[in-house]
Structure 1
Amino acid sequence: MRLHRLTLTAFGPFAGTERVDFDRLSAAGLFLLRGATGAGKSSVLDAVCYALYGELPGARRSNGVRSDHAEAGLRTEVVLEVTLGGRRLEVTRSPEQWRPKKRGTGLTADKAQTLLREWAADAGEGAPGWVPLSRSHQEAGEELTRLLGMNREQFCQVVLLPQGDFARFLRADSKQRAELLGRLFDTGRFEQLERWTADLRLRHEREVQGGRQRVHALLARAEEAAGPLAADAAAHHPGEDAPIAEALAWAALLRVDAAERADAAALRLAAAEAERTAAREESERHGALAEQQQRHQRAQQERLRLTDLAARTAPERARLEAALAAEAPAPLRAPHRAAQAALAAATAEEEARRTALAARAAAAGWSAPLGTAEELQAAEGLLRAETGRLEAAAADEARHGALLADRTRLQRKHEAAEALAEESRRWLEDFAERLEQLRQEREDARAARTELEQLDSREAELQQQLGSAERHLRLLGELAAAEDAVRARTDAAQGARQHTLDLQERRLAGMAAELAAALTPGTPCRVCGSPAHPAPAEPAAGQVTADDERRARTAQHAAEAELATAARQVAALAADAAAAGAAAGGRTAAELATAIAELTERQQQLRQAADRWLPLGQQLERLERDGAAHREQLRQAGEQSARLTGQLNALDAELTDLGRRLAAARGDAPSVAARAAAVTALATATTAALTATRTTAAATAHHRDTAEALLRAARDAGFPDLDALAAAALPPYELDALRGKFKQLDADLELAAAQLADPALLAAAGLPPAETGPARAAAARADDLLARAHRTAHEARSRVADLARIGRDLAALAAELAPVLDAHARISRLAALLAGAPAENALRMRLESYVLAARLEQVAAAASRRLLKMSGGRYTLVHSDGLVSGTKRSGLSLHVVDAWTGRERDTATLSGGESFFASLALALGLADVVTDETGGMPLDTLFIDEGFGTLDENALEEVMDVLDSLRERDRAVGIVSHVADLRTRIPAQLLVRKHRTGSTVHHTTREDA
């Protein structure tokens, strides 16, 4: 991952649009992001995270991204150009935000937007450009996360290294470390594995219970088949939960009891088998005698044939014995031949070396004798001494060349200083005029900005009046409609009142009939008081009752209430219309719209001039800074030119002196180096010739020794000289053939003699010829007797057949259940082990904790490589999996090993500076481990946030060396800090300045700092 450019608009502390050129910053490999506290250094990193993931890092997620300094109509936006997986992408993100309505008053919401584009060589019509990929938040987020290979939590820990988090991580307890490691590494699958093993253990338990039920079913069948035998063995019957071995033993006991009942039949069968065996042995004895007598005859014939063959091959046997005698001195022949070859090679090498030496001596003009070894050794000493003197002169020659290069470099610097001075003088010629012009233009922009603010206020006022005028017109229409409704409801209320009065009159007219309907014989009348009712009134058609009157009165009240409500609405609308007309200033909506249009046109004219205020300020600030830089450059160039002139004069004097000494040293050679090369080559050739002479002498002595040893061995073997020895020798293949031939012949003779001397064969040859017919007849009679015994025993064997079959079924079931029981035992132990049960897990460590401990061990190992360098070889981090007290997790402890004392101690004992570079090493180590875990995505841009202020000068130097090593393979490292010492160490810098109106960013160099 490499960052290229970042554009921020109305984001965090930045009120306007700010641009960060990471390509420019990354060119040096290491760059500094600095600024005052609260200026917005970390907000630059927040913008990178927001562009890639749509969220801010960690604890700042709740702060929001909208700048409080930004103008209401300026949209918040972050644009990041980045290379991921070899693809150059541009991601643009805007959050949901509120802006003033274009018409009327109030605010309206702009939805969040995301745009992902990719740079293509052929974006259309054969030209390169940006090609849109997606406008979906989810789709763009999934594509970016896939290319990055890590989630937002991992990205913030790996790319944006937060020092404060790792200082806390360094001193945290096991639970806090587990929370961080669990967020970075996906360990949920190991928790799922724990649940899976627990479920598997339950399934195995059910399978074991089913197997036990099948065993007990077979035991019931065996008990049924045994009949009365089962009663005798009832004391040994296995229980419900007894092991399978006890069930097998009980079944075996039943089979033994049944087998004892068949022993008598088995004894009778054994007697028949013994009789048949005796008959067969007799038959076999007669057959063996016949076979031995035949073998004795064949052995006699074979011995006669082999004796004749041995007599015919006697000359070849003599030749073999002579060749075997010549084998004794054979091991000495190879060293003798090797010595001859070595002597010839040494002689040729000596001649070649002496020829080369003669050529070198003639070329170098060497006249000393070079014949014997002593003369060569003396010449070698003289030449080595001369080489030493020329090496000293070569140093002067190298110094002379270096001085010439220094003079050329100083001359170029002198010319460059003069050119810089001239450039600064030309640049400063019209500096005052340009500065005054920019100041005037910025003042004009400020005036336009002030007038624009006044017009914005006037526009808001006119917009409010336009809204009031439109509301007045709308309320007048609603008032007319409400007055029509009042008139309609007035007619309805009057009609309901008249209907109620009519019903009252009709009820009064028929009141006599209503009272008569309530009379009861014997009850006094409520009008006259008489208990007799001779002629009660009869109700007329359409008689009105009290219920009819109540319903009419209810309808009347409802109509009157609706009329009152409508009247109140008319009064309210009239009041609102009057207020809206007053708020509109007595002007119509058309008049106000015309005034707003004229005002908007003037605002557009002023906004073009006002928008230049901030850029002109930046230009003015940049021009003043450039003017100061050129004045300083002019002063430094003059000082440097004078200093370089003095250095050039001193170099010229030293070069003259060295030139005189070198001329004397090189003599006729073109250079001291050429003279030294010729002398060195002659010395090397002399050494080679001396070595070759000594090698030839040694080879001559060795050849003489091997010849004498070989002659002595030949005479000891019975040969008068070496020629006789060579004549007796045979080729290996012929010697092996003869040796094998006579070895086989001797073996065959020994075998024939052994067979003829065999006592059994001799005894058999002395007996009468064997008779096999009667013996075979007796064996047949014994076979018939055995068949009858088998038929007698068959009934006894059938009695135990059922128990034997059941026993086999039970044994097969036991064999089938054995792996199930073994698997159940293993999975039960495994489930207990993964769950951290003390009986199986001495460390009381669950599987998820064990995996996190392994990750922590990797992080500690990766961190120690950098911590050793930052601490000057003193400290290393080690992971501890020892038990901890209470209910805390084991395996997540960190210790620091102090090489000065050789002891481990708690990381909390480190000082402030030591804690910083220990936490930095942890952060970098964790970055390495997470990067490997997520597929090894190359991270070409890293950021390190704060913490350098706790370091002394030496520690800062060690940390800077480690950070320099991070730049390998074209990697860029950004440091976020306000430590002053870093400004002089890091040339490329991004300065964040804070102002009352919002922060700005500026690309600076070390000189600007």
Structure 2
Amino acid sequence: MLDAICFALYADVPGSRSKRGLRSDHAASDAVPCVTLELTAGVRRFRIRRSPEFHRPKKRGTGLLKVQASVTLEEHLGGRWVAVSTRHDEVADVVKDVLGMGMDQFAKVVLLPQGEFAAFLRSTPEDRREVLERLFDISAFSDVEAWLAEARRASGADLEQARSALATELARVEDVLADAGPTHTDLPAAAPVDLPAAAPVDLPPGPPADLSVPVLSDLPPGAPVDRPVPALADLPVADVPGHLGEVARHLDARVTATMAAFDTASTAERAAADALAAGRSLDDLRVRGTRARTRLLELEAARSTHLGHVAALGAAERAAALAGHLAAHERAVDDEASARARSGATRDALRPTPLADVADREVGPLLRRLHDLDETVASLAREAEDTSARAHRRAELEARCEALRTRAAELRLDLDTASTERDGLRAEVEARAAGAGRVAGLELLLSATRERLAQLDAADDDLARAAALAPRRSALREAALDRRSELLDLRQRRLDGMAGELARSLAEGDPCPVCGGTEHPDLATVSDPVLPSDLDTAEARLEAADAGLRAVDAEAEALTTRARTRHAALGGASRDTLEADVAQGLSRLAAAREDAAAHRALTSRLAGVDATVDEHLASLAAATAHAEAASALLLELDRADEVASTKVAELRREHAGCPCGSDDPSAHSRAARLLDDHRAAVAELAAARTRAGAAQSALDAAMSAAGFDAPDRAREALLPDDEVARLRARVATHDQDASAARAVAEDPEVAAALVADPPDLEALRAAERAARDELLTAAAAQEDAARTLRALERLLPLVDTACTALVTATEHDARVRDLADTTSGTGPDNTLRMRLTSYVLAARLEKVATLANERLAVMGGGRYVLEHSDERAARGARSGLGLRVHDQWTGRVRDTATLSGGESFMASLALALGLADAVREEAGGLDLGTLFIDEGFGSLDEDSLEQVLTVLDGLREGGRAVGVVSHVADLRARITHQAVVHKGASGSSVEVRTGRRADEPAA
């Protein structure tokens, strides 16, 4: 029952039992496990119906189907139940809002598990803290503890990050100074600076690093003398930025010194470079002068060759002016020879023709005579082509006429065959049409016969069902008789027991309702009285039995009547007759349907044959028409041949006097073409002779002007273009070399250099390299010093920020760590080692002890008092949640473990009630009118049990209903209202008993 209450409210059960095992193993497979709880909270009344998740058999097939958990919440409003929600989360919110507590608190406030609170009484402070944390809401204080712990971790991380940041920046500074070279400085020794007393400042681990200023080993005289200084790791954090500032100032001085050294080295390097450049210039002038003089001597030795090249180049240039005339004369001579050859070829082409002996002067008149007859020859050629085309067309038309005659004969044969087939099909279609028309009527007749047979089946089924009701009717009649006998028996017993009922209502001095007497010496008694409610129940049973019997009688009568009606509608037809009619109808319908199918097939085939006949008729008509058209065309061709023959004879007479001497049109055309070619060749020969004479005259005039007396000499002087270019280049190169060498030799600077002493270039180069090396060394020193200074200046603000952040983080971490350690019970100032939540729970426990002592003073006769103890636990354990028992009789304080069994039960019960009251106050002062106490009464003696029950009666007198779960026999006699659980092999059952207490007087 207690689990059912918790499940209805919170969808869960307390303790180790799982809510998935709430379904009874004795329940039927299709039974739905559920619990319905009505509760009143304040002025509101609710009803909760909740079912857990379970599995039921599938309605179809085998296997199980999972049914999800469900819940229904209703509120009693206006005299009826109103649905509030069916969602689990919404119902949980309403329950939490109404009760003000979760299931753990509810299980401790309303359901008091005595065994668990006995353990709470004797548990250690740490175990007691876990129980109190589940009962009281101290989340705000635990959040403070967690927040401070997180703040401690965060401040520690910030401190480590600040230390790491400072270590990183100092490492970068050391890297910058280490890369600069030798390290010395003249800074004074730094005095240590004390940091705030919050916590020491830790520098990164590792060996001390040397802090120094790089200097050049070869600084100029006057540079300051340096000495060693302490390392960065040896300096206080607050003194590091100032020390690095001094280092930066000394580095700035060194940058100035290296800049002066660089300027000196730059001046020396420029002087050495200028001396080397002057030596190289003098050496170049001497080399140029020597080369120029040598070149002039070489050119003078090759003078005769040069003059020959000049003469050959002049002759070639003059002959080049005659190249065009020479080429024109050669082309004119070649053209004249070619024209003469073509004229001879055209004359040879005329020899096989009648025109072979024609003179050149007669070629023109003959051509005109030929061209006058060109149209006549063209007409003859056209007539010949038309005659050939008509002959080809006549052959095609004759072949087509023969094919059309053959096709017409074939079509006549196919037409006769199709016509014969069409006549036969028409006869068959008419024969099948009568049978096809009977299908609809036969189908209707068969359907009607089948309906009559179905009515006969239904009537027989109704009679069978009516007969099947007979056993049930007999059973119901017997049941009705039994119920009637039972009612009569109860009525008789009621009458027989009237005297006993009257006797039970009499009291001393009351008059008897039968005789009126006031004395009743011998009252009648009834061992088993019959009440009016028993009669009402028996009458209801009889009425139900009679109603069932009447219903069966009515159903049987209705079935029988319906069967008779159907038999009457059939007119006495038997099943054999109806089945024979159905068989005969099926046979006739099958034959008619066969005729209908054949009729459809023949009709379709007849339509195809009709289409074929029509197609043959159309094709035969088309073939006949095409044959007649071809015959007409042949007649037209014959008439055209006659006309053409007359025209050709007339044209031949016109062409009879043609110079070609032939009737063939092609011979006429060939003669005209040969005469045209010969006339053109004669004209071209005359033109070529004229051009050759003009070219000879122009060539003679040009040779006279160029100084050549014959064309062959001019051709010998001609040279190819590339050869002329090479001669011209040689002559120009000789002249240019001579001019350039003469200019260099006559230059005053070259002449002066030749008479001067030669320079020592190796010595000058060595001096220049030494000066450049010195300049590079000075530049590198200056750049290193400047780079180191710039890097250090960039790092100084970062180091300063890192130092400030480290000091700030150290102070903040010290404050946060001290506060967090104190609240967590590990700080040195927390002498009791109590956590903040334990301190709050200690106050709650002190309140619980006060409330428990109010009940314990009654149950224990005022002997024992529970006391809260905050003494420090041994071996560094946490303190603040101790419980002790103060014995008022002896005045001694002792441990709770020294109590006896009965004393422990009373102390545990008092503590449980005190905890319940304290939790109820913590939950907002909500007063629950029900309390359940689970076992623990068996350890009490009679007096102690009486004292405990007195306390429980006090709770009842305050309006609270108290339920006790127990197996103690004395409690059965003391508690009037009981729910007794009976266990059995088929499951458990509950019996509710109400009555008077054993110590109450009898009625």
TM-score band by shorter chain is 0.3 to 0.5
* Bigger Rg over Cα: 2
What is the TM-score of this pair, normalised by structure 1? 0.43
Task: Report the TM-score, using the length of structure 2 for normalisation.
Answer: 0.43
Higher RCO (CA-CA < 8 Å; seq separation 6+): 1
